[in-house]
Amino acid sequence: MRTINEQKIDKPSNSNQTDETIKKKIVKGLYFTGGTASLILGIIGIVLPILPTTPFLLLAAACYARSSKKFHDWLLNNKILGAYIRNYIEGKGMPMKVKIFTVSLLWTTILISAFLFIQILWVRIVLIIIAIAVTIHIILIRPKNKEQKIEQ
């Protein structure tokens, strides 16, 4: 006669498969949620220079690649958002005018925010540090040359 513990040992192959399926669905759901949150932040970053657009869109693409082929393909083929990802992956660079405009807008909004709206010193310092880091990142992006402009 089998004990209760032995009966549980005989059945685990089916329940393990079910557990694995459930885990995979949960992980896919988490990747999809993370991808959607990153996509939203990336879209906000297009108009709000405090948030970097491309890293969030790259993260969204990576999350969608692991969770939804449909959303991954949509993002990469999107007329506006897909260009950010493709240009970054292909190393096409950033036009100098765009760099100057981006850095100018970044510093204008950071300085206005830090000195007109923010009263807490440590928040001001954090904003300035973020602006410095983003500025360095933008400067280090290779400038797009004229030959690349003609190809597009």
What does the pLDDT look like over 72-103, one tens digit per residue?
A: 999 999 998 888 888 777 877 777 877 888 78
CA 129 vs. chain centroid, Å, equals 20
**Residues with Cβ < 8 Å from 87, sequence gap 6 or more?**
93, 94
pTM score above 0.75: no
- 64 within 8 A of 33, measured Cβ to Cβ: no
> What is the C-alpha to C-alpha distance for residues 76 and 82, in angstroms, rounded to an integer?
4
**Interval 3-20: pLDDT, tens:** 555 555 555 556 677 888
What 3-state class would DSSP assign to 93?
A: coil
Confidence band, pLDDT 50/70/90 cuts, at residue 150? very low
**Residues with Cβ < 8 Å from 68, sequence gap 6 or more?**
28, 32, 35
Domain boundaries along the sequence of the chain: 13-90, 93-152
**Any alpha helices (H) in 2-152, and if so which ranges?**
4-10, 12-47, 53-67, 69-77, 81-89, 96-112, 121-140, 146-151
> What is the C-alpha to C-alpha distance for residues 91 and 43, in angstroms, rounded to an integer?
21
- Reading the block at residue 150, the tokens are 């003609």
Helix (H) or strand (E) holding 10: helix 4-10
Q: What is the pLDDT of residue 4?
A: 54
